[in-house]
Amino acid sequence: MRTDMSGPRKLHVKSYGCQMNVYDSHRMADTLARDGFVETMEPAEADLIILNTCHIREKAAEKVYSELGRIRRLKGRAARDGRRVLVAVAGCVAQAEGEEIIRRAPVVDLVFGPQSYHRLPDLVARAERDGKVVDTEFPVEDKFDHLAPASAAATRARGVTAFVTVQEGCDKFCTFCVVPYTRGAEMSRPVGKIVAEAERLVDAGVREVRLIGQNVNAYHGEGPDGRTWSLARLLYRLAEVPGVAQLRYTTSHPCDMDDELIAAHRDLAPLMPQLHLPVQSGSDRILAAMNRRHARTDYLDVIARLRTARPDIALTSDFIVGFPGETEEDFHVTLAIVDDVGYAGAFSFKYSPRPGTPAAARSDQVEEADKVERLARLQQAIDRNARAFNESLLGRTVEVLFEKEGRRPGQLIGRSPYLQPVQVMAATSFVGEIAAIRIAALGTNSLFGTLELSPHTHDDKPTTACAGS
């Protein structure tokens, strides 16, 4: 419980879901820092609690409501101590549910959607003054222009890898997905602002910049020449920023993997050999029903071209099993595509209807027992492929960016170029450095390695695109 009532106001943000939400939570904290809020990990100490929600996973809204039950008790205890706590719900559940949240959970003072984050100081002031506030509009102004950049101290505290949102929203309208409704139409940030953010990040010690967007490879931002730049062009520009040692981007749609972007994987040394490219299903019939806008062979063609450009590229994916109308035959071709591609890993989920999406209204929903059984078989195939990918690295030397200290004394955790966690015994001074590591053993969720060479200095970049292959 907070005891120092005279100190700065405290903010606790709980983030659910994807990396974009983590990025948004950081930006909210940075924006509220200008109003004197400092972050706390302890909800019981906070004067403002924000739940930054995600609508992608099953029962997302239910999870939020049960968390709000816990917060209600906490807010009640604070009130008995004479302290007022504001409770806010942000993110995609807020956008989708709007006023319903306050009706079901009166503990909530403020509900706001992803397009309103830059108005947060004003929304908080209104909620403090007037009581309940709901803001789920899609404003015309660019929220990124109004969000505060992270301070150097906040950036350093968040580590050597940083997310930068370059694109938001989606125009694809897959029939199972709420994103086009909760995040709105595609919007891309201008190149100059992204480059300036990357420069600020590397000045504060960041080595790897991860570009994020719901449909990141549909990026079409305004370049410094006044023309529209593609994601590939943006990546080439960011690779020139001194201090940017590694680049990644996520999440991509197969239809937006154009030749220029594929060539960037061949030509750009800082662009890591790893790509998350969701396929969702291997069946053409289901892909059409999902409105994915590509067939199985189109997807496999993209993979083949990527592998020609960058033979060692590690591919990961998302799968949905039990989409309405999915037959055992459809599922078999989904299983087959896992082996055809040889994924390094994948996320897989049972289909669950999202209210307001076209697929939710279909009458041919798949039985739960079939979904459970198919998911188990799919996950076996994914795990088998992931194991084979990890085993292919045994005895090889790869470059690892060290991110943080591990749980055991003397242990550091880093990431391979293929994004696997790697555990190594090394001095703490290696955090933030990229070093050659020989992969000696495989764990369940990570690789174990030994240090081979001195780390690169901060000025170095990998010299060839295929280092470690």
Provide the b/e sequence for 364-392 (b: ≥16 CB within 10 Å).
Answer: ebbeeebbeebbeebbebbeebbeebbee
Q: Is 170 in the site for ligand SF4 (CB under 6 A)?
A: yes
x/- map, 364-403, ligand SF4, by CB under 6 A: ----------------------------------------
Q: Is 281 in the site for ligand SF4 (CB under 6 A)?
A: no
Q: Is 96 in the site for ligand SF4 (CB under 6 A)?
A: no
Distance CA 246, CA 268 (A): 10
Q: Which is nearer to ligand SF4, 170 or 235 (CB)?
A: 170
Radius of gyration of the chain (CA): 23
Q: Is 174 in the site for ligand SF4 (CB under 6 A)?
A: yes
Segment near ligand SF4 (CB under 6 A), from 166-174, 205-213, 221-229, 428-436?
A: 166-174
- Residues in region 335-364 near ligand SF4 by CB under 6 A: none
Q: Rounded to 10 degrees, what is the CA torsion of 260, 265, 270, 275?
A: 110
Q: Which is nearer to ligand SF4, 94 or 287 (CB)?
A: 287
- Residues in region 213-242 near ligand SF4 by CB under 6 A: 214-215
Q: Is 173 in the site for ligand SF4 (CB under 6 A)?
A: yes
Q: Which is nearer to ligand SF4, 215 or 423 (CB)?
A: 215
Task: Figure out which of the listed residues 75, 253, 296, 456 binds ligand SF4, where binding follows CB under 6 A.
Answer: 253
x/- map, 196-215, ligand SF4, by CB under 6 A: ------------------xx
CA end-to-end span of the chain: 52
Q: State in angstroms the smallest separation of the CB of 357 from ligand SF4.
A: 9
Q: Is 184 in the site for ligand SF4 (CB under 6 A)?
A: no
Count residues binding ligand SF4 (CB under 6 A).
Answer: 10
Q: State in angstroms the smallest separation of the CB of 172 from ligand SF4.
A: 4
Q: State in angstroms the smallest separation of the CB of 218 from ligand SF4.
A: 8
Q: State in angstroms the smallest separation of the CB of 231 from ligand SF4.
A: 15
Q: Is 55 in the site for ligand SF4 (CB under 6 A)?
A: no
Q: Are strands 167-168 and 187-188 parallel, antiparallel or unpaired?
A: antiparallel
Q: State in angstroms the smallest separation of the CB of 290 from ligand SF4.
A: 8
Q: Is 177 in the site for ligand SF4 (CB under 6 A)?
A: yes
User: In 3D, which of 278, 299, 283 has the Cα closest to residue 347?
Assistant: 278
Segment near ligand SF4 (CB under 6 A), from 92-100, 124-132, 171-179, 365-373?
A: 171-179
Q: Which is nearer to ligand SF4, 31 or 215 (CB)?
A: 215
Segment near ligand SF4 (CB under 6 A), from 23-31, 42-50, 156-164, 167-175?
A: 167-175
Q: State in angstroms the smallest separation of the CB of 143 from ligand SF4.
A: 18
Task: Figure out which of the listed residues 20, 46, 108, 179 binds ligand SF4, where binding follows CB under 6 A.
Answer: 179
Q: Which is nearer to ligand SF4, 152 or 185 (CB)?
A: 185
Q: Which is nearer to ligand SF4, 40 or 291 (CB)?
A: 291
Q: State in angstroms the smallest separation of the CB of 40 from ligand SF4.
A: 32
Task: Figure out which of the listed residues 114, 180, 184, 270 binds ligand SF4, where binding follows CB under 6 A.
Answer: 180
Q: Which is nearer to ligand SF4, 180 or 455 (CB)?
A: 180
Q: Which positions lie near ligand SF4, rule CB under 6 A?
A: 170, 172-174, 177, 179-180, 214-215, 253
